[in-house]
Structure 1
Amino acid sequence: MVVQTQREDGTWYECEGCGLMFDEREDARQHEANCDAEDPSYIQ
């Protein structure tokens, strides 16, 4: 599920599975469809 979050710099959309944040809802939805709910791969 994508969660909408308000920040000082605007609205962000967070993947509940891994916590990765996006500035576009559609980007977050596309990510979530492929998310394995582990740490984001860019951290590894």
Structure 2
Amino acid sequence: MVNTVERDGQTWYECEECGLLLEDETEAKTHEENCSAEEPSYLQ
């Protein structure tokens, strides 16, 4: 399930598995479905 987070007056959608914040709810849900709960790939 994607959590809604308010930061700096903007709504973000957080992946429960890895904590990644996304601006678009649809993208967040898609990410979470494919999330391996490891560090996000962009940090590698």
TM-score, length of structure 1 as denominator length? 0.91
- The CA distance in 2 between the partners of 1:7 and 1:20, in whole Å, is 14
Deviation (angstroms), 1:9 = 3.9
4+ runs of 1 displaced by more than 4 Å?
none
User: Pairwise CA RMSD of aligned residues?
Assistant: 0.8
Give the letter aligned to residue 18 of structure 1: C
In structure 2, list runs of 5 or more residues that go unmatched: none
Give deviations 1:24-44, integer Å, cap 9, x for gaps: 100000000100011001111
In structure 1, list runs of 5 or more residues that go unmatched: none
TM-score, length of structure 2 as denominator length? 0.91
